[in-house]
Structure 1
Amino acid sequence: MASDTPKIRFVMIGGFLGAGKTTTIGRLAQTYQDQGLKVGVITNDQAADLVDTNLLRSQGLQVGEVAGACFCCNFNELTSTVETLSADQRPDVVIAEPVGSCTDLVATVVQPLMKLFDAEFDVAPYGVILKPSHGLRILRKEANMGFSPKAAYIFEKQLEEADFLIINRIDELSPEQIAELSDLLSKFAPETPLLRLSAKTGEGMDGLIQMFEQRGAFGQKILDLDYDVYAEGEAELGWLNSSMQMTSREPFALDDVLLGIVEGLRERLASDGAETAHLKTIGLWEGAYGVANLVSSDTPAVLSLPSNCTTKEANVVVNARVAVDPETLRDDVQAIVNQLVERMGITVEFHQTQSFRPGRPVPTHRFSDASS
């Protein structure tokens, strides 16, 4: 990149699985575009067939995907994906969405970008979105946090390294819940600025934009992190990405399919006592798309983005992150999908299904001293 070429503003938004990162990124990208900026988005997952990538592309955004490992363990792929976006239409802003079970991103992503790629990137403050459903239980130190202490350790470390924190979904929370979350976060990270946001309605977006525009001594919080606990916490989650095509002689309501899959899985996983970190499914056909998701075992399945589409054919992608054996998760997904399509008179063809536990994180770079 030539020295007189303006740097790309690099914005990364972290947060636990189901925190609302994708919805926030979609609205943030649209806000930047409304300002006349060119925006690129980079999604990240342990496997291909990511709902987030499909959703953001369906919204007309330029999206690159880093699959197969988290940003920290696939750092070179992250920077080369930015170059690919730049080759097509150089963005003014790149918004990156890391894997929701990943932490230590300041030492392994932010610091390497600042030190090794200073000529290319202008790195924004690192914001982390709090997931209210699990956040309340973990920060309250409840006996039943939904996850083991090792998984909760990752959740807390994500909050600890943030330059600022975001309470999302305030449209779904009562004033009392917002106040309690604010108090718990202020005690957990008393020096960290706190924003309140509804990515769904747009309330609080002005504050988020202003925070990302700030310059200064950001990206300096290097974690004291036990990688053994981190790896064991991640490995407790069964990970599944599955893509399929559905066809029918008679038109079917795509939204009924999406919500039916998520609701069926919610009931099945609840009967198994398996805690859901995040479960989402997207359906796409000829410009129409819809999304249904579940963000925890104690919240309802919701049609978060209706497609209002009736069709005879659709492509469907299911992503599931659940504290259960991956093979059990694979069997559950296939069983629920097969039951649903049989009931609705639909034929399904599974294209690809990957189910596994994340491996131990091995960062490409790790800067242990922000001043070095």
Structure 2
Amino acid sequence: MSSEKLPGQGVTRPVAATSRTIRFIMVGGFLGAGKTTTLARLARQYMAAGHTVGIVTNDQATDLVDTNSLRSQGFDVGEVAGACFCCHFNELIATLGQLDDSRAPSIVLAEPVGSCTDLVATVVQPLKQLYSARFSIAPYSVLLKPSHGLKVLRGEGSGFSPKAAYILEKQLEEADAVLINRADELSGEQMQELVSLVQKKVPGTPVLRVSAKTGEGFDGFCEFLEQEGIFGRKVLDIDYDIYAEGEAELGWLNTSLTIRSDQPVALDTFLLGVIEKLKRSLGEKGAETAHLKAIGLWEGFFGVANLTSSDGPAELSLPSRCAVQEAEVVVNARVAIDPEHLQELVISSLQAVADELGVQVTLRQTQSFRPGRPNPTHRLATTV
């Protein structure tokens, strides 16, 4: 693919060799809402229907569990690391170009950072206005995690400050559809309350009930994504000071390490043990978890353990069912706590579980920080 410079924009635009367009499907939602599981299920459904699919993940740092998990499942994945899509828009375009060069996908699925909002003005509209010949933009859907969603929409204490809750509410406001995830885990009464609260918050926005884990509601979700029309036009009235302070409340940590043992050790036991230990340690500090994820990789096998809220269970979401003497492990943590304290707790939890299982831990890289103020490459309030 060749490229050209857009006048006055400082942006490189891919120039299509053919008239083929790529369907761009972005699925947003707060941290731990289930975006990665949703994209994996969507990708499998589209591939079964004969489409070639690419996926783009996004994070404020490198060593992302989601990228490793999706690649281990056999998907073609590009990653935009170091900032959100809106602040690294040019990198997003470059990554889309790389996917196009390697696989020529008919569909690209994009997962933005879970603490980001205002994506219609900073991602959807720039794509529509600058790259309309290259991409066909699907309706923008936002996943809602019931555990935090109910608390925030009821006006109860969610474990996060009102400024962090502000981000979740703004995500709902700009959505073309709100997807209530984990429908299989909710009672009829809980689901009805959540639907009513969402409809009160964002009147007129379609509300779909889905389960990324079981596939419930995904046929209807795919039908919705096929629609053409007036979508991706809800440009927010947003206070970037509140938005930035809400993001900065979260301690952000990505760490990668190698584990070794003289005797085979159950990889899943190590991963789940780390998440459970972290849950207890963070609970003792009163630190609300947005999400914790750990992936272990060994010779084609992989396992994933995660926690999506402080009052939820630690889960082995993708078991490896293998015993290893060596494996690569990546841990991601997004928690309402000082990042230095978060790093101490993660490392101590890793070491405690390693000692219990007779495993040696070698840390390779750790990044812990608070996200900086969002500074979008573009913010287009005039909609297409």
Q: Which of 314, 324, 328 matches 1:315?
A: 328
After the TM superposition, which residues 73-84 of structure 1 pair with which residues of structure 2 at under 5 Å, given as runs?
Answer: 73-84=87-98
Identify the residue that residue 8 of structure 2 maps to in structure 1.
none
Which residue type is aligned with residue 20 of structure 1?
Answer: G
Q: Which of 72, 79, 103 matches 1:58?
A: 72
Q: Which of 62, 82, 85 matches 1:71?
A: 85
Matched, 1:211 2:252: no
Which residue type is aligned with residue 149 of structure 1?
Answer: P
Q: Which of 101, 104, 127 matches 1:87?
A: 101
User: What is the CA–CA distance in structure 1 between the aligned matches of 2:160 and 2:200, rounded to whole Å?
Assistant: 22
What is the aligned-residue RMSD (CA, Å)?
Answer: 0.8
* Shift, 1:3, TM fit: 6.8
Which residue type is aligned with residue 165 of structure 1?
Answer: V
User: What is the CA–CA distance in structure 2 between the aligned matches of 1:362 and 1:95, rounded to whole Å?
Assistant: 23
After the TM superposition, which residues 1-372 of structure 1 pair with which residues of structure 2 at under 5 Å, given as runs?
Answer: 1-2=15-16, 4-142=18-156, 144-371=157-384
What's the % identity of the aligned pairs?
Answer: 63
Residues 222-266 of structure 1, C-alpha deviations (whole Å, 9 max, x = no match)? 000000000000000000000011010100001100110000000
User: What is the CA–CA distance in structure 1 between the aligned matches of 2:57 and 2:336, rounded to whole Å?
Assistant: 23
After the TM superposition, which segments of 4 or more aligned residues of structure 1 sit over 6 Å from their partners? none
* Shift, 1:5, TM fit: 2.4
User: What is the CA–CA distance in structure 1 between the aligned matches of 2:305 and 2:194, rounded to whole Å?
Assistant: 26
Does the CA-based 8 Å contact 1:128-1:162 persist in structure 2?
Answer: yes
Which residue type is aligned with residue 177 of structure 1?
Answer: Q
* Shift, 1:173, TM fit: 1.3
* Shift, 1:217, TM fit: 0.6
Normalising by the residue count of structure 1, what TM-score does the alignment of the two structures yield? 0.98
* Shift, 1:369, TM fit: 2.2
Normalising by the residue count of structure 2, what TM-score does the alignment of the two structures yield? 0.95
Q: Classify the secondary structure of the residue corresponding to 1:99.
A: coil
Which residue type is aligned with residue 284 of structure 2?
Answer: S
Which residue type is aligned with residue 274 of structure 1?
Answer: A
Change (3 A) 1:354 1:2: closer
Does the CA-based 8 Å contact 1:235-1:357 persist in structure 2?
Answer: yes
* Shift, 1:177, TM fit: 1.1
Which residue type is aligned with residue 348 of structure 1?
Answer: V
* Shift, 1:2, TM fit: 3.7
* Shift, 1:306, TM fit: 1.1
Residues 320-347 of structure 1, C-alpha deviations (whole Å, 9 max, x = no match)? 0000000000010000101111111111
User: What is the CA–CA distance in structure 2 between the aligned matches of 1:349 and 1:136, rounded to whole Å?
Assistant: 40
Residues 190-244 of structure 1, C-alpha deviations (whole Å, 9 max, x = no match)? 1101111011111111011111100001010000000000000000000000001
Which residue type is aligned with residue 23 of structure 1?
Answer: T
User: What is the CA–CA distance in structure 1 between the aligned matches of 2:49 and 2:309, rounded to whole Å?
Assistant: 35
* Shift, 1:370, TM fit: 1.4
User: What is the CA–CA distance in structure 2 between the aligned matches of 1:65 and 1:172, rounded to whole Å?
Assistant: 31
User: What is the CA–CA distance in structure 1 between the aligned matches of 2:264 and 2:315, rounded to whole Å?
Assistant: 22
Does the CA-based 8 Å contact 1:3-1:119 persist in structure 2?
Answer: no
How many matched pairs?
A: 370
Unpaired runs of at least 5, structure 1: none
Which residue type is aligned with residue 121 of structure 2?
Answer: A
Which residue type is aligned with residue 276 of structure 2?
Answer: E
* Shift, 1:175, TM fit: 1.5
